[in-house]
Amino acid sequence: MTTAALPSPVRIGLSRGVLELKAFFRERSAVVFTVAMPMILMLIFGTIFKGKVHDTNVDFRQYFAAGIIASGIMSTTFVSLGVAIAQERDDGTLKRLYGTPLPKAAYFIGKAVLALALSVLETAVLFVLGNVLFGLKPPSTPERWLTFAWVFVAGVVVCTLLGIAVSSVPRSGRGAAAVLNMPYLVLQFISGVYFPFDGLPSGVQQAGALFPLKWMSQGLRSALLPDTLLPAEPAHSWEHGRTGLVLAAWAVAGLALCLTTFRWKRRRDG
């Protein structure tokens, strides 16, 4: 008996990505919730806050617009994926997949494709909104475009890996949204998304600086906002080296967590 070769994980992974996108965009309520939530936040904060960031001539609304783009990335990756995977574990999707020759890597690739596509969409929508409402400008130099690109990609990678890893924490699919939204909400408030980071108490700053969202927000500000904002940044510099290091460390940790803690089955399925 000759054995035909198994399809490669990358090929199956891309095919899963296409399927995930199709299923996602046909589920209209999910699309609206994922894309509209950060838009609504942007509108609300845009009507509440006015003026300049302290010691600078930068419009505060542009400051938090950059932060909301960063937290939008975390929403479409970390939160969406974490909840979706926990639900798929609960409803038997993962059990069915585990009974097929689907490799784990292909499943992850499919989720990553979905997360990347949603993040691009969300970022584009939020940027256009920030541009129209608050005059947020695109990166002004090729160098800043490059910064924007690597911060975006690193943010998507880190939060995707963490989303897959954290999906194993909730005990059921129903509890997943609550479990995932808690760290997301807390991080938004301690990472300088809605308030200038250096205005936070120093203990909160130190806690926020341990997590990726602070560095993603800062990185996007460095790409989208002028250097005149620097007096209001905690280190009075963009700290690109440190941003890269922190995100790389989280990527490694996230990958290790994914590979070691990912479960196809519910806890009670032992």
Partner 1 sequence: MNDTAVRVRGLRKRYGDVDAVNGVDLDIFRGEVFALLGPNGAGKSTTVEILEGHRRRTGGDVSVLGADPGKPTREWRARLGIVLQTSNEQPELSVREIVRHFAGYYPRPRDVDEVIEAVGLTEKAGARLAQLSGGQRRRVDVALGIIGGPELLFLDEPTTGFDPDARRQFWRLIEGLAGGGTTILLTTHYLDEAEALADRVGVITGGRVLEVGSPMELGGRATATARVSWLGPEGRQSLETDSPTQVVAELSQKFDGEVPELTVARPTLEDIYLTMIGEGR
Residues that bind partner 1 (CB under 8 A): 1, 3-7, 11-12, 15-16, 19, 22-23, 26-27, 88, 91-93, 95-96, 98-103, 265, 269-270
Closest to partner 1 by CB, 93 or 205: 93
Phi, psi at 242, each rounded to 5°? -65, -40
Task: State the nearest-atom distance from the C-beta of 15 to partner 1, in Å.
Answer: 5
Closest to partner 1 by CB, 93 or 181: 93
Q: Which two tokens stand for residue 161?
A: 């890996």
Closest to partner 1 by CB, 265 or 267: 265
Closest to partner 1 by CB, 98 or 189: 98
59 forms beta bridges with 52
Task: State the nearest-atom distance from the C-beta of 175 to partner 1, in Å.
Answer: 18
Ramachandran category for residue 128: left, alpha or beta (phi over 0 → left; psi -120 to 50 → alpha): alpha
Distance from first CA to last CA of the chain, Å, rounded?
35
Task: State the nearest-atom distance from the C-beta of 176 to partner 1, in Å.
Answer: 15
Closest to partner 1 by CB, 12 or 180: 12
Q: Which two tokens stand for residue 248?
A: 């790389």
Please tell me the distance from the alpha carbon of residue 191 to that of residue 205, in angstroms, as a whole number. Answer: 7
Please tell me the distance from the alpha carbon of residue 163 to that of residue 81, in angstroms, as a whole number. Answer: 6
Closest to partner 1 by CB, 29 or 141: 29
Closest to partner 1 by CB, 29 or 260: 29
Task: State the nearest-atom distance from the C-beta of 80 to partner 1, in Å.
Answer: 16
CB neighbour class for 159 (10 Å; exposed up to 12, middle 13-18, buried from 19):
buried
How many residues are there in the chain?
270
Task: State the nearest-atom distance from the C-beta of 29 to partner 1, in Å.
Answer: 11
What is the separation of C-alpha 133 from the centre of its chain, rounded to a whole number of angstroms? Answer: 23
Q: Residue 105 is which amino acid?
A: A
Please tell me the distance from the alpha carbon of residue 146 to that of residue 247, in angstroms, as a whole number. Answer: 16
% helix / strand / coil in the chain, to the nearest 5? 75, 0, 25
Task: State the nearest-atom distance from the C-beta of 53 to partner 1, in Å.
Answer: 44
Task: State the nearest-atom distance from the C-beta of 135 to partner 1, in Å.
Answer: 39
